[in-house]
Structure 1
């Protein structure tokens, strides 16, 4: 469980003791400190401090004695206003002092103090203990508790005999550390609504099987997690027996119901055991005001990184990667859908969505979070986290256990940009005929939120009880540089920017993805937005709203015409969640879309009006600013006319080159504007021909015809989205190639060809030299072997005998042959 240990840890408690003179205020404090009743005491005791090591809970106590004199009234009330808890002391032996508690002390104190008050009857040793006295005491205290909601408890003690003295101050300390007022209404004897909502979140966290009950195993898990003790089977049976005796709907066959869970906590509170409820609440992030605090570690992506390198908490630094839901988070959200689909119609109605997000602060949803940020900051202005100044920073060395308020958590990520607008719910995803969100739409909506504003996904998964301590909530995709090198986009959520001049039909294309068609744009009115009556759109909000995002599930188109793309491994590729972002034609939105080399864009969809050639000129100017790494697809809208569709089909089927298309475009360009307006097909043909020529100049496929009228074109639009997704998944097929790049590619091809030829020639020459060298060495070896054989034969034959006189020496000393020979 994602626990928040010590969510409201307190180090000290300031107590102020007030009451009439001679009631024993000073004696009570002295007996606590020294354990000895003083025979004489000063008029007002100096402030007493009890170190934490001397208290049971390790909390330091500061006890302030006060004067009851009328002239010190202002000073006494000032001390009361600065206290954490006030003890009002009266004498149990003097009825008049108790009457003064009701008539004077409590009215005066409640004017300046809003904390807990403990009413203490001292000198109980002077009163006879009996059933009559106990009944009389209850008769006095119950009206007091009913009339003054700040009075948490009433008790008696004896400073002289040291009876219940330590219990009095322990009760006062617990009234601060474990206050009853936020949990229980002492007047109506009912649990506070905010406490019920807090327990609902705890109940749902431990309801692991999502059956709206706590089984025996889940109840044991709750006990071990919150209190470190294991329930025995007999203990569970005793609890169930007690609950069944108080109401049949507290227990069911499968376990304890939520109503029974509430009754368990109410029983503890009624027995002055409020610390039991607070131990549970604080372990799950609730502070003293029952406001849910968010630990910074719940918003961190570090646990989701597979590497050992530290990752920035939110995208913006890791711009080359996007964020997606983990399988565990997807399964968790699917379980929530099925749990709260009460009518089993495979869709979530508005009431069912309300129930899902009832455990979130203020009942907000991810698509309404931006509207709640300002409201929360105003409503909880006095609540601060441990270090609120660091809440807006990301990365660095922040304490992962630092607690943030909801407003700080909402602003902890990068501020949502215009292109990250997600408030167009439910029009941004698929719904059924009644406008209820389907399972497919529920999944798609969360995938889109994770892609555009991942910190919101982390925050709401924490609200809804996802255990990120056991499973990763989000994962990072492969780096885009790797995917570009492999020409294989393996992201499960793909994003496309939709560009086009005003009026070309961008919104209609977005509506077609969610199944709304052209009619959906007319249905979107301010009243259709959740909480729109409480939310006034300023200019910035309207600008963001004009840059819509929608999401839908799309199957990629295979090369064989099948339904899915087959990857390199031979396995069918899964369906993708396809996010379309409408980029308004205004300069601000365009600049944001084109920033950072469009690293957030997987595909640029260039839409033009086939009846308006100027819309093509607008795209031609934009084309020069789009990086060549981004794949492009041109769409020709408003081609419902048969002539326009026929002309486009002829252009695509005839295989006309760029020169032929340009010639046709120039011929049409000679027409006047009036002639074009008078003849729609000719006007359409000029826009299509100019777009086709623009595509040809960048080696892009010809424009695709689009007729955004549902339902008759639903099948064709489905194939269109398959085509668009395929272009994003295989980006090399749709990347623009400029003249400069083509020239560069030609040079590179020429260099590569030259290198190949040089390599082949070098190999052939080297092989020839090697063969020649080998043959030469072979010949030499053969000749050497022949000569060695002849010498060996000559040396083995007997030498002929020559007579001695056959030799003589000439005068030069040289041996010559015999005279006969010469």
Structure 2
């Protein structure tokens, strides 16, 4: 059963009208299923349980009596009502005249502009006349847009009594006003916009048409049942008879045909069908995406993070493939425009090319598209939830966008176990101004940055993200450039990450002392992995104005030896692989062994003793044992998942 996200938990119906029109008789006839001979001035409030109403919604029916209630009490009841039935007597023209001269103006005056309350026009005592008041009622409906429907009935013969209260319920649960313009006999613009978005979501192959497969997908998503082939043929035949261009030459339904179908539903009193479609895609009574639909509650305990699940990753990759119309592996501006035509606005601006991988024209690639949503899910999961809903992620009573996001375990457990189960890691890049942090971060996504950090580099985004392969598994690494004015005022958010990158300029003798001081203040007793990186080493290395040179500093604090960052792609790749591996295996130095080509590096990490015999005999054993241990741990982790 598909949930249609109806916001009303109950319906409160108020009956108003002149004395003697039969308001109380209508209520009592509905309840007792017979006409009451003795009618009191006012009926008690009636509650109808949900299981006996067509819409399965509890309903309260409230009577009004001018004898027993004041105008103030009437106004209070009007404010509480979900729908108001204005009753007139079909055998008394004066009571109908009072509908427009008194009752509808009174309701407008009592209700504020923000409190929209639908009205049902009810002509009672049908048994006493041999004519209809439908023409007069239609004139009223055209003048007063709040009048949703009109019904003629008889409390005495019980004719149309049930229908009257059904129309009242329907006016609340499936209002026509937001969808249909009566005098123009056309859909409202917000309704057209919403239905057009739904059409585009169901148009899986993006050809501007709904084929039989897509039409069946639409039917199952909205009504939880497939569309029978004969019903599909009937729909197409109906469109061919009534509208030109409703069905394409290849027998698919066009957008104009889709909109016309809903116009017919509304004209034939089937507003509930169109509302079922709209609510299946998250729309509320005001034809806006409901906040509960866009933002299901996501709990993220302290120390945990959010990342895309496998389902979430596949959804975004499939979405990219759908809109990459020319199959060139990148989204052109035109393709991006089509993609975001089903959303309020793109979630990124022009600087996207400085955040994720793009092609040479700056168009986002499939990897870059996925990386963007990986980054967004890490930093702002609510935005991901919102866009998943806009993009048409399947949401029903059994599932919502939360299945596209997974919450990781606490980071403290990763440090304790020396291994992380996560797929997304964040690296904070620290360094004095001008040491090359921006160049490093932009290099991670394949972009060359030649501007000094004192120039336009300051205006670039602070985060870049890309995928990295670690021991055969794809992980995502986020580099966040930390432009810190004062190292003595860092917050916990500034310090906390998965791996720290401390950058100094090999050609600037004063640059290393900055990161050395920062390390000693915040990370010397912290279990977080730290990598020291020397930039611009191809220009030559000068001695640093520091008590310890970088290599000595790393040796003293049992850190990995400094990594020298250059413009060579292989050296850059090694750096990013190091950072990702250190984040994935915090404090587990055996997993870092493949980084180091020289045995002196292994000694500095304490992985090998100084005994050359043990080195020669045990290096291979240690290497393969470490790799085997890692493989087993990864396998066990995968099985636990």
1:278 to 268, 275, 296: 275
- 1:634: Cα distance to partner? 1.3
TM-score normalized with structure 1 length: 0.61
1:549 aligned partner: 463
1:704 aligned partner: 564
- 1:171: Cα distance to partner? 0.8
1:534 aligned partner: none
- Cα distance change, pair 314–717 in 1 and its aligned pair in 2 (3 A): farther
- Are 2:104 and 1:172 aligned? no
Output aligned runs, 1:130-141, within 5 Å: 133=132, 137-141=133-137
Q: Contact between 2:12 and 2:60, CA under 8 Å: does it hold in 1?
A: yes
- Cα distance change, pair 606–60 in 1 and its aligned pair in 2 (3 A): closer
Output aligned runs, 1:652-667, within 5 Å: 665=543
Q: Contact between 2:205 and 2:322, CA under 8 Å: does it hold in 1?
A: no
3-state SS of paired residue (1:162) = coil
Output aligned runs, 1:610-649, within 5 Å: 610-624=506-520, 625-626=522-523, 627=526, 630-637=529-536, 645=538, 647-648=540-541
3-state SS of paired residue (1:141) = helix
Output aligned runs, 1:185-334, within 5 Å: 185-200=181-196, 202-203=198-199, 206-208=202-204, 211-252=207-248, 253=250, 255-290=252-287, 291-294=289-292, 313-314=299-300, 316-318=302-304, 323-326=307-310, 328-334=311-317
Q: Contact between 1:13 and 1:62, CA under 8 Å: does it hold in 2?
A: yes
- Are 2:56 and 1:124 aligned? no
User: Deviations 1:197-256 (Å, cap 9, x if unpaired)?
Assistant: 544554455555555543323433443454355432221111012223344443332632
- Cα distance change, pair 19–718 in 1 and its aligned pair in 2 (3 A): same
3-state SS of paired residue (2:70) = helix
2:434 aligned partner: 503
User: Deviations 1:499-520 (Å, cap 9, x if unpaired)?
Assistant: 1023323234323434262459
1:440 to 358, 367, 376: 367
TM-score normalized with structure 2 length: 0.76
Counterparts of 1:486 and 1:16 in 2: how far apart (Å)? 65
- Cα distance change, pair 297–289 in 1 and its aligned pair in 2 (3 A): closer
How well do the aligned residues superpose, as a CA RMSD in angstroms? 4.5
1:184 aligned partner: 180
1:726 to 567, 577, 580: 577
How many corresponding residue pairs?
583
Counterparts of 1:525 and 1:686 in 2: how far apart (Å)? 26
- Cα distance change, pair 60–122 in 1 and its aligned pair in 2 (3 A): same
User: Deviations 1:136-159 (Å, cap 9, x if unpaired)?
Assistant: x45423332222111001221222
- 1:118: Cα distance to partner? 0.6
3-state SS of paired residue (1:437) = coil
3-state SS of paired residue (1:15) = strand
Which stretch has the larger CA shift, 228-237 or 433-442?
433-442
Counterparts of 1:37 and 1:493 in 2: how far apart (Å)? 71
Q: Contact between 2:11 and 2:169, CA under 8 Å: does it hold in 1?
A: yes
1:405 aligned partner: none
Q: Contact between 2:2 and 2:224, CA under 8 Å: does it hold in 1?
A: no
User: Deviations 1:69-89 (Å, cap 9, x if unpaired)?
Assistant: 799333323322221111111
- 1:294: Cα distance to partner? 3.6
3-state SS of paired residue (1:67) = coil
Counterparts of 2:452 and 2:153 in 1: how far apart (Å)? 73
1:340 to 320, 323, 346: 323
- Cα distance change, pair 691–525 in 1 and its aligned pair in 2 (3 A): closer
3-state SS of paired residue (1:236) = helix
Output aligned runs, 1:522-541, within 5 Å: none
1:111 aligned partner: 109
3-state SS of paired residue (2:210) = coil
1:18 aligned partner: 16
- Cα distance change, pair 142–296 in 1 and its aligned pair in 2 (3 A): closer
- 1:102: Cα distance to partner? 1.5
Counterparts of 2:28 and 2:94 in 1: how far apart (Å)? 24
Structure with bigger gyration radius: 1
Q: Contact between 2:179 and 2:191, CA under 8 Å: does it hold in 1?
A: yes
- 1:109: Cα distance to partner? 0.6
1:767 aligned partner: none
1:605 to 501, 511, 533: 501
3-state SS of paired residue (2:277) = helix
Q: Contact between 2:295 and 2:386, CA under 8 Å: does it hold in 1?
A: no
Q: Contact between 2:48 and 2:58, CA under 8 Å: does it hold in 1?
A: yes
- 1:25: Cα distance to partner? 2.2
Counterparts of 2:23 and 2:217 in 1: how far apart (Å)? 46
Q: Contact between 2:203 and 2:214, CA under 8 Å: does it hold in 1?
A: yes
Counterparts of 1:501 and 1:280 in 2: how far apart (Å)? 56
3-state SS of paired residue (2:34) = coil
2:95 aligned partner: 97
1:670 aligned partner: none
- Cα distance change, pair 230–719 in 1 and its aligned pair in 2 (3 A): closer
1:473 aligned partner: 404
- Cα distance change, pair 216–520 in 1 and its aligned pair in 2 (3 A): farther
Which stretches in structure 2 are left out of the alignment for 5+ residues? 583-591, 597-601, 618-641
2:57 aligned partner: 59
Counterparts of 1:285 and 1:588 in 2: how far apart (Å)? 48
Counterparts of 2:168 and 2:419 in 1: how far apart (Å)? 67
Counterparts of 1:19 and 1:520 in 2: how far apart (Å)? 78
- 1:646: Cα distance to partner? 5.4
User: Deviations 1:548-598 (Å, cap 9, x if unpaired)?
Assistant: 2112356x7xxxxxxxx8x5xxxxx47764421112224588443675xx5
- 1:444: Cα distance to partner? 2.0
- Cα distance change, pair 276–343 in 1 and its aligned pair in 2 (3 A): same
- Cα distance change, pair 53–234 in 1 and its aligned pair in 2 (3 A): closer
1:802 aligned partner: none
User: Deviations 1:731-776 (Å, cap 9, x if unpaired)?
Assistant: 43579xxxxx9899599889x99xx9xxxxxxxxxxxxxxxxxxxx
- Cα distance change, pair 334–211 in 1 and its aligned pair in 2 (3 A): farther
1:86 aligned partner: 84
2:479 aligned partner: 580
3-state SS of paired residue (1:18) = strand
- 1:6: Cα distance to partner? 5.8
Counterparts of 2:134 and 2:90 in 1: how far apart (Å)? 13
- Cα distance change, pair 216–46 in 1 and its aligned pair in 2 (3 A): same
Output aligned runs, 1:398-417, within 5 Å: none
Which stretch has the larger CA shift, 46-55 or 472-481?
472-481
